[in-house]
Structure 1
Amino acid sequence: MRTTNNETRMDSEPNAETLEAFHEVEEMKKHPDQYKAYDSVDELFADLEA
C-alpha cells in the first residue's frame, strides 16, 4: 500500500483472507436478517464479553 497526495493505492491484489472477508460482507448485505445487529458499542462489547 502506498499513500501519495492524500490518496491510498494498493500495489497488489488482495490476499485470500481479504477476498473471503469481502465475500462475507456481501452475504451480510444480502441477508441482514441472518446476522445480529447492535444499537450501541456497549451492547456489542457486552455480547463479546458474555
Structure 2
Amino acid sequence: MKQEDIVIYACVIIGAGIGLMLGSAFPGVLVGLGIGYLIKFSFKKED
C-alpha cells in the first residue's frame, strides 16, 4: 500500500468522524475524500 493511499483513507475516516459529530457522515466522507486526493496530488508534485 502506498503512502498516498494511506493519506486518502485517513482523510476519509477523519471526514466521516467529523460528519458524524455534525449529524451526517456521508458529506463528511466526501469532503475527506476530496481533501485526501488534493493531498495525494500535492505529494506527487513534490516527487
Q: Same fold (TM over 0.5)?
A: no
Query: Which protein is richer in strand relative to its size?
Result: 1
TM-score (norm: length of structure 2): 0.39
The structure, 1 or 2, with the larger RCO (C-alpha pairs under 8 Å, 6+ apart) is: 2
Task: Please identify the structure whose Cα radius of gyration is greater.
Answer: 1
| More helix by percentage | 2
